[in-house]
Chains A and B, each alone.
Chain A
Amino acid sequence: MQLHQAARGGSNLDRDAALQAARERFEEPLWTLIGQLEATLSDLGRVKHINISDPRAVGSVLNSALTDAASAVNLSDHGLEVTHVTDGRSNKVTGVVDLGGDERAVSFELHLSGPRGGTSKSSHQFAKSDFSVCDIEEQRSLFPYDVDAPDQLLFFIACHLSGTGVSVSKVFIKFADGIDQRMIEIHRSAPSVAAGAMDSAPVNEPAGAKLTIKRPKGEETENGSTTDKRGDAAPSSK
């Protein structure tokens, strides 16, 4: 708990300014990343037998998807890196933010929040402490981080899922250092529908009605002749 005490004691950090700066710097790339994760959730929602309401399943899938999702949107081009933790539970997204000329390392951790719970709990992960509560399904787990995490700019990316459980309605950057619950909302640049949400129709279509151009009378038979009043009656024997 050294970090907790240190942060509480000697910090002269303007926490509101830090939130603002983090939003300004990372709002767009974080939402781009979340867009990818929404697509993952959408696809997951259509997997047979998967219960999308099960936070354990959803959390594991998101953490597993994070590295590839970050790569798909070239997160590194925006100054963010994903550090994959060996047991796969709680990946870190790290970068650098400029606080009035003072460059500071920053670390984000993805959390599901809102109706799903998670980030509002009293115990959280503290990266530099000797233990971490890093499981988004609230399981305590001990493991070492490879990343040299900053001691004052630890954030959660707190994702509030929509009622469907497969899209994100709101996202907040929230302090994860346990000092207070300050947070700031980050906004999507344009509302989008999660990619892959459209279901393609299964194939059981009929051939349909047949349309043909009417042929004028006379063209209906090969020789163009028309029938007389007797029609197709057999010739008289007489």
Chain B
Amino acid sequence: MAARPINGGMLLLARNRRRKTQTELAAETGVAQAAISRIENGTRDALSQEEIQSIARFLGFPVSFFYEQEPLYRTPLSLHGAAFRRKAAVSKRDQEGVVALANHYVLHFRKLLDAVDLEPEFPLLQFEVVSDKSSVSDNANAVTSAGEAAQKIRASWQLGDGPISNLVRFVEATGILVVEGDFGQADIDGVTLRPPGMKPVVVLNHARPADRKRFSLAHEYGHVVLHAFPYDAMEKEANDFAAELLMPKTGVLPDLKRGLSIPRLGQLKQKWRTAMSALIYRAKSLGAITDENATALYKKMSAFGYRTREPHEFDIAPETGKLAAQLLNLHMNDLGYSLDELAEGLRTDPVEFAIMHGLAVPESKLREREKPKLRLVANRD
């Protein structure tokens, strides 16, 4: 019987997940870099047992992970990483690490969803921004602006023009899984993967303030409903979509017309649950204040250090999703899987699995993890 082939995509995922270069992996495991490279690009699919065990140990994945024949979706929604906000400031290693994290979640969710039927409350609408010179695809609705798409989304969610209390819940109600992940030092707010055969998965940077995560989610949702393929204007459209979704013109304009000051912006932040800086930008773009007014407000914010961190006293409560937790609960409570069994089935270390999904890590697991690994070294003398 032929040996099972190693899936180069899984090796790439594991390596990027740990933010290691091929050179670093080769140096730490003793496996030739050329072999690693060939495995990853699919021109080789076998390593010795010792080699794959060494790689698995160093990267902290079970050996079985590398033999998973899962399709791997390396790129986010848009090609060339264009779905990233502020991607220019982010190193390639950090970008790859975040994409690997998102793929790791997709790997888990794809398997978990195999046993479950998911019935969204609201349809996941698709739009295309068209002009009089372009036409719309068969499976999308034509809109003349991203803002119009946001208005239609709000209508489909049966919302008026007031604030959205919990955006995560509305996005999840369209079948999208929203999770928060550890992006490390990567200056990235969120990333969306749209794997074939399943609903999109949005991963948000858990270290961001709640108001920023909301805007990031709205932005990512804009990509999901508007952008089947990438193009230059997509980032601006996603921002316009997010602004109208969270602060619809008809609802927010009366608030923005009443003299804006920092305390007033704080009050509005608590009402609309968006950043004070986003409210200033919205006020400017809707013509409620002049460019000079906006600049003066930004300067005041800077003077108090609020551009770096908005004042704690106006922090909004974080939003939590429940779809991913429900998915895990179904497996653990209704289907009777233990943490170990689920982690093994999903080819992930149990402690890492628990941390990724916000589960309690058993003390025994933590102690086990802290123990030094003993290796048997044969004496040839």
Chain A residues packing against B (C-beta within 8 Å): 38, 42, 45-46, 51-53, 162-167, 193-194, 197-214
Are B313 and A197 within 8 A (Cβ)? yes
Collect the chain A residues with CB atoms within 8 Å of residue B166's CB.
201, 205
Are B263 and A211 within 8 A (Cβ)? no
Are A206 and B117 within 8 A (Cβ)? no
Q: How far is the CB of B362 from chain A (nearest CB, A)?
A: 25
Known contacts A53-B261, A206-B157, A201 near B304 by CB under 8 Å: no
Complex CA distance for A46 and B267, rounded to whole angstroms: 6
User: Which of B47-55, B78-86, B280-288, B320-328 lies at the binding interface?
Assistant: B320-328
Contact of A53 among B164, B174, B264, B317 (CB under 8 A): B264
Collect the chain B residues with CB atoms within 8 Å of residue A197's CB.
312-315
Are B317 and A206 within 8 A (Cβ)? no
Are B263 and A52 within 8 A (Cβ)? yes
In chain B, positions 150-181 with a C-beta closer than 8 Å to chain A are 157, 159, 162-166, 169-170, 172-175
Complex CA distance for A194 and B312, rounded to whole angstroms: 8
Other contacts beyond A209-B175, A213-B330: 16, CB < 8 A: A38-B313, A52-B267, A53-B264, A162-B304, A163-B306, A165-B263, A166-B314, A198-B316, A198-B317, A201-B166, A201-B317, A204-B159, A206-B169, A208-B173, A210-B119, A214-B116
Complex CA distance for A206 and B330, rounded to whole angstroms: 20
Are B173 and A206 within 8 A (Cβ)? yes
Contact of B266 among A38, A166, A214 (CB under 8 A): A166
Contact of B117 among A194, A200, A203, A211 (CB under 8 A): A211
28 A-B contact pairs sorted by A residue (CB < 8 Å): A42-B313, A45-B313, A51-B264, A52-B264, A52-B266, A163-B301, A164-B263, A165-B262, A166-B263, A166-B314, A193-B312, A197-B314, A198-B315, A201-B273, A202-B165, A203-B165, A204-B162, A205-B170, A208-B121, A209-B119, A211-B118, A211-B327, A212-B116, A212-B117, A212-B119, A213-B116, A214-B115, A214-B116
Collect the chain B residues with CB atoms within 8 Å of residue A167's CB.
311-313
Is B319 part of the binding interface, using a Cβ–Cβ cutoff of 8 Å? yes
Complex CA distance for A165 and B304, rounded to whole angstroms: 12
Collect the chain B residues with CB atoms within 8 Å of residue A209's CB.
118-121, 172-175, 323
Complex CA distance for A52 and B311, rounded to whole angstroms: 15
Is B270 part of the binding interface, using a Cβ–Cβ cutoff of 8 Å? yes
Q: How far is the CB of A157 from chain B (nearest CB, A)?
A: 20
Nearest CB in chain A to that of B166: its residue: A205
Collect the chain A residues with CB atoms within 8 Å of residue B262's CB.
163-165
Complex CA distance for A52 and B317, rounded to whole angstroms: 21
Is B300 part of the binding interface, using a Cβ–Cβ cutoff of 8 Å? yes
Are B169 and A202 within 8 A (Cβ)? no
Known contacts A45-B263, A53-B263, A163 near B311 by CB under 8 Å: yes
Collect the chain B residues with CB atoms within 8 Å of residue A45's CB.
263, 266-267, 270, 313-314
Contact of A201 among B159, B174, B319, B334 (CB under 8 A): B319
Are A213 and B115 within 8 A (Cβ)? yes
Is B122 part of the binding interface, using a Cβ–Cβ cutoff of 8 Å? yes
Is B335 part of the binding interface, using a Cβ–Cβ cutoff of 8 Å? yes
In chain B, positions 102-160 with a C-beta closer than 8 Å to chain A are 114-122, 157, 159
Collect the chain B residues with CB atoms within 8 Å of residue A166's CB.
263, 266, 313-314
Complex CA distance for A203 and B163, rounded to whole angstroms: 10
Collect the chain A residues with CB atoms within 8 Å of residue B120's CB.
209
In chain B, positions 250-292 with a C-beta closer than 8 Å to chain A are 261-264, 266-267, 270, 273
Known contacts A52-B267, A208-B173, A162 near B322 by CB under 8 Å: no
Complex CA distance for A205 and B162, rounded to whole angstroms: 13
Collect the chain B residues with CB atoms within 8 Å of residue A198's CB.
315-317
Collect the chain A residues with CB atoms within 8 Å of residue B88's CB.
none
Complex CA distance for A164 and B266, rounded to whole angstroms: 7
